[in-house]
Amino acid sequence: MSIIVTGSIAYDYLMCYPGHFLEHILLNETGKISVSFLVEEKQMHRGGVGPNIAYSLALLGRHPKLMGTAGHDFIEYAAWLNAQGVDTSLVRIYPDEFTATFTVMTDLDQNQIAGFHAGAMSRARELSFRGLDRADIDLVIISPNDPAGMAKYALECQELALPFIYDPSQQLARMEGPEIIAGMRGATALTVNDYELELVKRKTGLSESEILDYVRMLVVTRGAEGATLQSKTERVDVPAVPPLVLRDPTGVGDAFRSGLVTGLVSGYSWEVCGRLGALAATYVLEQAGTMNHHYTLPEFAARYQENFGNCPELADLMRR
Ligand SMILES: Nc1ncnc2c1ncn2[C@@H]1O[C@H](COP(=O)(O)OP(=O)(O)OP(=O)(O)O)[C@@H](O)[C@H]1O
Ligand SMILES: [Mg+2]
């Protein structure tokens, strides 16, 4: 049985400009811009929501299957993911496309100029759950990706009765109410942060209790304030796990989902599911980048125990 993670697969290029963009972006009477910045400190990070979630699931011993689309430049990324324990057999590689690329330049004032090239990600709508062995799938997570692909996956999960988590996150900004409702209908859980919850409520006109007419569980993360898991009849509040150092929050939400999913597929109590999410997230806070953290299962279990005390689920977690 496996967890299938769908989501964007991308390379992130981060560059620093040791000056001030605003001194160079002056519109003259022609109204044209033509500037070139000599940048320093170029970094390349492997990224994308799909790999981020799959990576922490692999650390937690779950052998996830990443499902997504990538380009001819994905070969080394795939080899690296495999070495981390992520199965990439459901990633389709398009030799005529580039893997999605996020490029951002930041100046000394923290102004940013960024571009996102979707490349192979815009083909994610060409993948399908039909034809996969239904009996081999525990849970699907539908995370930010090609919008048409996300809508298709949700519909297929509904039609094929595959349990799924609907995780639209940053894609909510461009979605309308009916699309959000169509995506979350029948989901095991809807996962959002507190800001995204407000977006869902505003765009759909639904209250929290009405959202729970469509999804079994609503999971809301609230940064350092922790997270809430709720259904029509139950509500569990989970505190955040304080980081030893706070380096970079990018990717915390994704890692939270990895811990949550681990608990859900294992049938753990909601309290434990949320705590696994909170601890998995804190490891990401403590490193720069979204996949530079590392732990063994015994290390993870020991830290869980330090924060939350022992529970029978920990022994089960370690057996995986
Ligand atoms: N400052 C913090 N200290 C401790 N834990 C944190 C902190 N920020 C986030 N977390 C943990 O990570 C979880 C998810 O955080 P958050 O709600 O900020 O996600 P997010 O907004 O989706 O993040 P992103 O999209 O940037 O990855 C929280 O529920 C909490 O457990
Ligand atoms: Mg998020």
Please give the share of the chain, as a percent, with pLDDT higher than 90.
Answer: 90
Q: What distance in Å separates the CA atoms of residue 77 and residue 248, rounded to the nearest whole number?
A: 22
227: Cβ below 6 Å to ligand 1? yes
Q: What is the pLDDT of residues 100-110, one digit of tens each?
A: 999 999 999 98
Least confident stretch, 11-25, 50-64, 228-242: 11-25
In this structure, the dihedral spanned by the alpha carbons of residues 291, 292, 298 and 303, taken in order and rounded to 10 degrees, is: -100
Q: What is the pLDDT of residues 140-188, one digit of tens each?
A: 999 999 999 999 999 999 999 999 999 999 999 999 999 999 999 999 9
Taking a 5 Å cut-off on Cβ, the residues next to ion ligand 2 are 169, 253
Confidence of residue 27 (pLDDT cuts 50, 70, 90): low
What pLDDT was estimated at residue 29? 62
Q: What is the pLDDT of residues 126-145, one digit of tens each?
A: 999 999 999 999 999 999 99
Phi/psi-derived region of residue 263, left when phi > 0, alpha when psi is between -120 and 50, beta in every other case: alpha
If one counts every other C-beta atom within 10 angstroms of the C-beta of residue 216, the result is 13
Cβ atoms 293, 249 nearer than 8 A: no
Active site residues: 254
Give nearest CA residue, ligand 1 atom 7: 224
Which ligand 1 atom is the nearest neighbour of the CA of 194? 17
Give nearest CA residue, ligand 1 atom 31: 278
Q: Which amino acid is at 145?
A: N
What pLDDT was estimated at residue 28? 63
Phi/psi-derived region of residue 87, left when phi > 0, alpha when psi is between -120 and 50, beta in every other case: beta
Cβ atoms 57, 262 nearer than 8 A: yes
Give residue 131 CA to ligand 1 midpoint distance, Å: 36
222: Cβ below 6 Å to ligand 1? yes
What pLDDT was estimated at residue 248? 87
Angle at 254 between CA 250 and CA 257, to 5 degrees: 150
| C-alpha torsion sign, points 2, 9, 13, 245 | negative
243: Cβ below 6 Å to ligand 1? yes
Cβ atoms 281, 253 nearer than 8 A: yes
Pocket test for ligand 1, best of 221, 276, 304 (most atoms within 8 A of CB): 221
SS3 content of the chain, % helix, strand, coil (to 5): 40, 25, 35
What domains can you pick out in the chain, each with its CATH number? 1-18+46-162 (3.40.1190.20)
